[in-house]
Amino acid sequence: MPRPLHSFSALALTNAVVSTTARVFTLGTTWATAAAVTFTAMSATGFVLPSPVAAQGVSGVVVDASSSAPLPGVLVSVLNAAGDRVGAVLTDASGRFTVVVSISGEYSARAERIGLATSNTDAFDVASEGLHTLRIEMADRAVEIAGIVVDSRVQACRIDPAEAIQIQRWWGEVRKALDVSAVVQRDRLVRFRIQRYEREWSADLRSLAAERTDLQVGFSSRPFVSASTESLSQDGFVQGVDGARQYFAPDADVLLSDAFLAQHCFSVVADGADADRLGLRFEPIRSRKVPDILGTLWVDTTTAELTHLDYRYANLDWLPQNEAGGRVEFRYLPSGTWIVADWFIRMPQVGVRGGDRAGNTEVVGYVDVGGRVRQLATAVGAGDGATGSAQLVGAVFDSIRGAPLAGARVALLGSRFSAQTDAAGRFEITGLPAAEHRVAFFHADLTQWGVASFVRTVDLSEDARREIQLAVPRFRTLAEIMCTGGGDVGAILTGYVMDDGGAGLENVTVEVAWEIPGAGGAARTFTAEARTGSGGRYRICEVPAEARMELTVVTEQGRGRVTSVVLPTAEITYRELRARR
């Protein structure tokens, strides 16, 4: 049973969703009901730009903490004294923003962008008839770990505290993308030209019977419509009776609503085919009986980027065996905007065999009804494509071992662009937009050592081919980062202490003992110890290289099994230790 996701505030967010009416027919006869897809009316008029700045509010600029360069595409939220959001906007190309507030009083601001650490300001006062000016600095960090609030109303799922923190960690990154999407739609900053399509599949989904497409003319700032959260919570994601059933997909409003979180359990799952992708899986609680959905939100663990949502329908008592569901794909644009780029709902075609007086039904086929973005434009009238003509090539070198670093993931933080280094440590990323990018690389060694990714800023122009060299720092540099007074460190030992279930154990002792030959051949025994920190990590720097170490975990239950290890000179050694049961 997945763990619950507890008490995340519901935000006014909307992505892409449609409702459809299923085809229901009897074998050997014609269709009884045609599928109907509801779209919002397309608008051929110009954009509705944000209203002029009022005299009361918050204005300012968001910049990079190290270079002071302006940061576009940052979501700036203004919060009242109770912590509720009263307004939010995206920073423009110059990193500037203005948020209007309705009453004077005490406020604070929060700046968020995928790939950067969230920045929160101190409280400030907004006077009547005045603008409070802010300068917000944001630092590089691939993923930010936030706290978790347990909601006592949700008792239907069991939760493991360690996994709850991991769920919150990735949910925070997913929420950033969804929140930006909502602001873009609300302020009509992007318009879409949509191509809708309809496909008919066989019951085994192996053959395509028919496909129809229809390109909508004109642009819309909101290309899809959604069912209300209240309706889906009460009546479910499949509504109606035979011949007129409607199938609904979840949007951001639904996924982040209090009702959805109270009615579903969440867990973290790995992608067996892609080690750099992680999923947040959800499924309805056991007591929920109305038609619902179960699915997975997939995140790129290198860039912390939300890629897509896969889901299936559940609790369909009249049709227990089926593959009905859908998919929503997200796209990141160079401006910092997130949009839904492709989506579909897969509905079952239900048939009743002639002569079956019981009226039993079975799936005789499926219909996909969906759409994709074929063209979009921004509020300034220019297109905002997801790719460009610049290229970034180079190599990653392991300075500790003196060799190329194979299997490293090189990524442009806050975007979908990344590549993996080959056996020679080489990588190539193409189709990049002209912009200033933050480049980082990730590798299993750095993760095990507990060392953050090292970030470089690269400015790319159109059609440019830029070559850069990235490297794991030398041992002395890492020792200065990982250890106090690291200049004299000869070797470093780090790792985790875990229980039998693989959960990290905090605040337990790791003892280290070693012998050094003394005068006259007598050996002297030396010891050192460390306490585990967050997640069970330990780190020991006060040990000599090339000596055999005896490691022991000490808990209230006693001393664990002894583990032997020899630390090579000027290297970082990783060891996982098990505590006594």
Read off the tokens for 369. 């009804």
| Average pLDDT, integer, range 312-333 | 84
Extract the tokens encoding 367: 């219909």
Residue 11 has a pLDDT of: 23
If you average pLDDT over each of 150-154, 180-184, 275-279, 357-361, which comes out highest? Answer: 275-279
- Which is more confidently placed, 32 or 244? 244
| Residue whose C-alpha is closest to residue 458's, from 507, 403, 392, 503 | 392
The SS3 assignment for 481 reads: helix
Rounded CA separation 528/552 (Å):
11
Q: Stretch 75-90: mean pLDDT, rounded?
A: 87
Q: How far apart are CA 51 and CA 15, in angstroms?
A: 23
Going along 50-189, which residue ranges are E strands? 57-64, 75-80, 85-90, 96-100, 105-112, 119-120, 124-126, 131-138
d(CA 99, CA 75) in angstroms, rounded, equals: 11
Give the model confidence (pLDDT) of 451-475 as tens digits. Answer: 766 778 888 887 789 999 999 988 8
For residue range 44-80, list pLDDT tens digits in order.
222 233 333 345 889 899 998 877 888 877 888 899 9
Cross-strand bridge partners of residue 268:
280
Average pLDDT estimate for 116-130: 85
How much is the pLDDT for 232?
92
Please state the three-class secondary structure of 529-540 as a single string: EEECCHHHEEEE
* Residues 6+ away with beta carbon under 8 Å from 503: 160, 162, 536
Is the CB of residue 27 less than 8 Å from the CB of residue 38?
Answer: no
Whether residue 15 contacts residue 252, with contact meaning beta carbons closer than 8 Å, is answered with yes
Question: What distance in Å separates the CA atoms of residue 352 and residue 349, rounded to the nearest whole number?
Answer: 10
- Tokens for 371, please give them: 């759409």
Give whole-number Cα distances, 217 to 41, 187, 192, 212, 535, in Å: 10, 21, 10, 16, 54
Given a cut of 80, whether residue 40 has pLDDT beyond it is no
Please provide the DSSP assignment of 428-453 as one string.
EEEEEPSEEEEEEEE-HHHHHHTPPP
Q: Distance between alpha carbon 481 and the CA centroid of its chain, in Å? A: 28
Say how far apart CA 95 and CA 118 lie, in whole Å: 15
CA–CA distance, 238 with 19 (Å, rounded to integer): 9
Tell me what percent of the residues of the chain surpass a pLDDT of 90.
15
Mind listing the domains of the chain with CATH numbers?
19-47+183-378 (no CATH), 390-473 (2.60.40.10), 476-578 (2.60.40.1120)
Candidates 398, 407, 420, 417; CA nearest to 460 is: 417
pLDDT at 217: 52
> Is pLDDT at 382 greater than 50 in this prediction?
no
- Give the mean model confidence (pLDDT) for residues 89-103: 83
What is the distance between the alpha carbons of residues 515 and 564, in angstroms, rounded to a whole number?
12
DSSP 15-56: ----EEE--EEETTS--SS---B-BPPPB-S---PPPPP-SS
Number of H helices, E strands in the chain: 6, 37
Say if residue 396's pLDDT is above 90: yes
Q: How confident is the model at residue 378 (pLDDT cuts 50, 70, 90)?
A: low
- pLDDT, position 184: 64
Place of tokens 């209240």: 230
pLDDT given for residue 363 in this prediction: 83
Which value, to the nearest 10 degrees, does the dihedral of the CA atoms of residues 88, 90, 92, 93 take? 150
3 state SS of 281: strand
| Vertex 309 angle, CA 305 and 311, to 5° | 160
Containing 368, the helix (H) or strand (E) segment is strand 361-378
Q: Which two tokens stand for residue 361?
A: 């039904």
pLDDT at 352: 62
Measure the CA–CA gap between 72 and 62, rounded to whole angstroms: 8
How big is the CA angle at 152 (ends 160 and 288), to the nearest 5 degrees?
A: 80
In percent, the amount of the chain with pLDDT more than 70 equals 73
Decide which of 130 and 403 is more confident. 403
Q: What is the Cα–Cα distance from 400 to 572, expressed in whole angstroms?
A: 9
Helix (H) or strand (E) holding 196: strand 190-202
Least confident of 158-162, 324-328, 405-409: 158-162
Angle in degrees, CA 533, 539, 542, rounded to 5: 135
pLDDT digits (tens, 9 = 90+) for 166-222: 777 777 777 777 777 666 666 655 666 777 888 888 888 888 777 787 766 555 555
pLDDT score at 94: 78
The model's confidence at residue 236, banded by pLDDT at 50, 70 and 90, is very high
Instruction: Scan for tokens 């919150």, then name that residue.
Output: 168
In this predicted structure, what is the pLDDT of residue 191? Answer: 65
Alpha helices in 328-465 (DSSP H): 444-449
Instruction: Give the model confidence (pLDDT) of 354-365 as tens digits.
Output: 545 555 677 888
Q: Bigger pLDDT: 195 or 515?
A: 515
Statement: residue 248 has pLDDT above 50: yes
Give the separation between CA 577 and CA 579, rounded to whole angstroms.
Answer: 7
Q: Does the pLDDT value for residue 312 go beyond 90? A: yes
